[in-house]
Amino acid sequence: MERRAFVGRVAAGLGTAGWLPGLALAAQQSRSLGDDLKATHDPKEIWGRVKKEFLLRPGLVHMNTGSVGATPRPVVEALTNAMYQLETDPATNEFGPMGAQMEEVRTKAAEFLGAKPDEMVVTHNTTEGMNTIATGLNLRRGDEILTTNHEHPGGFICWEYLAKHFGVKIVQITMPAPVKDKAQFLDLVKRHLTSRTKVCSFQHVDTITGMQLPLAEVAQMTRPRGILLACDGAQAPGMLNVDVKALGVDTYASSSHKWMLAPKGSGLLYIRKEVQERIQPVLLYSGYTVYSASGGTRDLPHVLAHGVAMDFHNAIGRDRVEARCRELNAYLRERFRTIPSMRLLAPDQPELSSGMASYSLSKGNNHGIYDRLLKQNVVVKVVPKAEYNALRFSTHVYNNEEEIDRAASLIKPMLEA
C-alpha cells in the first residue's frame, strides 16, 4: 500500500469530501483501506504500515496516549486543507455548505459510540462534557454524588463546583489497587448508595490504574433507582470499541485527542434521550447541533478533521484496533512481570483490563525514572498520586513489541541499581 492510497482511502470515508482540494483525488479511490488490510494477513505488515502514517519523531516511543494521542497524517492533512479552503471565502464557507459538513461529523460520532445523532454533542474535551452535565442538573443541597478517589480532575472538578456553590455532597469510594475482581468493585458501589444518591460519576477506564470499570453492571443498580450514571470516558473511545447503549450509562463524555487520535481539543458528549429533560445546561439551550446560538461559532476545520480521525479508525476496524491495544498491553504486562520492583495496579482479568496499565515502583522515584526514560526517548506518564509512586504505560496502534522490549530493557536496570 502506498501512502497516497492509504490517505485517500481514509479520506474517502467522508463521503462528501470532494470539497477538500488535497483529498479530492484520494476520495476517488476504488477500494477502501479496510479492504487492503483485510487482504494483508501478516500482522507485522499490517501494523508496520499503519505506523508509517504517524508523524512521530524517529526513535521516539510514545506510550502516553492516556494524556494525548499522536494524530495520523491523514487527519493532519485534512485539518490543514480545510483551513486553506475555509479562508478562501470565510463567511460563506463557515456558515454555508462547508459548515454544514460539521453535522455529518456529529452523525458519524453517534455511530462511533453506538448512540443516535440526537443524543450526541461535539465538544472540545471530557472536562467540557462533564461540566455541561453537572451544571445542567438541578441538584440541591444534600443531594449526593457517588464517585471514586481515582477520578481525573477534569471529571471531578464539576462536582466540587456544585459542592462549593450549591451544597451537594460528594461521596468517594476508596479504590483498591488493584481491584481484586468485578464483584469487589460492585459491592463497594452498592454499599455506598443511599436514598440521597442522585448521580454516580465513574470513569470508563481508570486514569490512575488502567482498570476498565464494569459499568453495565453498575447501571443495573442505578437505573431502577433513577440515579444518573455519568461516565468520564476520556480513556476509552479509540482504544475500546465503545457502545454506550450496552454500557447502560446515561451520559458519556470523552476526549477524542487521546485514543481516537483526533486534533488536540476534540471531544464528544452523549446524553441518553430518556434523561435529556433532566439536563438543561445553557450550552445546549439551542440544541445539540455543532453550531448553535447557545454554542456559537466553531473551529470548522478542526471539527471536520475530528471526523477524519473516526474514518481512520473505521478503515482499520474498531474491533481490530481494540484487539491490538489489548494485545500490546498484555505483552507489556508479561515483560514487566520479570521486574520484581514493579507492581501492577490494574486487575489482570481481560474484562477489567485495557490498553493502559500503571505500575507502582518499590524502588526508585517515579519522577526520576520518568526523566531517565525521557532522555532515552521513551515517553510514559507519572501517575499523579504520590502514595503509589507509579508510572502509567499506554499502548496504541503506533506502538509495537520492539518498543515495549526497549522500554523494559531500559527500566529494569534503573530499578535494580
**What pLDDT is stored for residue 297 in this prediction?**
95
**What pLDDT is stored for residue 43 in this prediction?**
87
Q: Would you say 208 and 358 are in contact if contact means Cβ atoms under 8 Å apart? A: yes
Q: How far is it, in rounded angstroms, from Cα 415 to Cα 370?
A: 12
**What pLDDT is stored for residue 33 in this prediction?**
59
Residue 395 CB-density burial (10 A; 0-12 exposed, 13-18 middle, 19+ buried): buried
Q: How far is it, in rounded angstroms, from Cα 263 to Cα 53?
A: 15
Domain ranges of the chain: 105-311, 319-416
Which residues fall within 8 angstroms of residue 50, CB to CB, at 6 or more apart? 316, 397, 398
CATH class of 105-311: alpha beta
Q: How far is it, in rounded angstroms, from Cα 126 to Cα 170?
A: 20
319-416 maps to which CATH number?
A: 3.90.1150.10
The cell for 250 is 446515561
**What pLDDT is stored for residue 416 in this prediction?**
84
Q: What are the pLDDT tens digits along the chain (417 aa)?
A: 455 555 455 544 444 444 444 333 333 332 355 666 777 778 888 899 899 989 999 999 999 999 999 999 989 988 999 999 999 999 999 999 999 999 999 999 999 999 999 999 999 999 999 999 999 999 999 999 999 999 999 999 999 999 999 999 999 999 999 999 999 999 999 999 999 999 999 999 999 999 999 999 999 999 999 999 999 999 999 999 999 999 999 999 999 999 999 999 999 999 999 999 999 999 999 999 999 999 999 999 999 999 999 999 998 999 999 999 999 999 999 999 999 999 999 999 999 999 999 999 999 999 999 999 999 999 999 999 999 999 999 999 999 999 999 999 999 999 986
Torsion of CA 353, 273, 259, 336, to 10 degrees: -10
Q: Would you say 305 and 263 are in contact if contact means Cβ atoms under 8 Å apart? A: yes
**What pLDDT is stored for residue 382 in this prediction?**
98
**What pLDDT is stored for residue 42 in this prediction?**
86
* Region of residue 226 (phi > 0: left; psi between -120 and 50: alpha; otherwise: beta): left
Q: Which residue has the cell 497516497?
A: 4
Backbone angles phi, psi at 199, to 5 degrees: -140, 135
Same fold, 105-311 and 319-416: no
